[in-house]
Homo-oligomer: A and B are copies of this chain.
């Protein structure tokens, strides 16, 4: 198949303790992957960089984009809006980049509805005991905070069968999970519907 074809939108969710951060950092070292940067209405902090940590929108800009259907998904959190500008994602996909959208379960389902071509993956620890161990292991939070985080994680795991794929991130084997993500992208690109001109090209060289 041709090399100029459209990239893949890869939605990645994973509860705390899934090791998602490490896995995605390794994947991003490949230049064919770009990370989808969110837009937000919260005020920039000193460490923020426009277009790197976030795109900073005014409330009016953000809500206007929502109204025009220009946000792939959005949510409100402590008074601020957070979301994914459709145009940035589409541009990268047209350039043939695979776009990683790291997002929680609710946003993942919103995006999947608007862009059915997107591929959704949930990254999980091997089992609940490991999940709890990894969450407690940090040792920096009180019991109430830990229980709250555990509850959130369990709610996310419960939705794993709504995803296209589940990757279990075995302890100490994050390279394997990265490899699985790469394989998902490679295999999804073999679907005929992702290359509608294939037959025309095939017979053109006759």
Contact = CB atoms under 8 A, between A and B. Distances in A.
B160 A192 contact: yes
Interface residues of A, number: 38
A199 to B, nearest CB: 7
A206 B163 contact: no
Contact of A191 (B124, B164, B180, B193): B164
Given A127-B205, A206-B127, A167 B180 contact: no
Contacts of A203: 127-128, 157
B205 A129 contact: yes
A103 interface: no
A93 interface: no
A198 B165 CA distance: 12
Main SS class of interface, A:
helix
A188 B157 CA distance: 20
Contacts of A132: 206
Contact of A184 (B163, B187, B198): B187
B198 A129 contact: no
- Residue of A129, A157, A165, A187 with most chain B CB atoms under a 10 A cut-off: A187
A141 to B, nearest CB: 19
Interface of A: 1, 124, 126-130, 132, 157-158, 160-168, 180, 183-184, 186-188, 190-193, 195, 198-199, 201-206
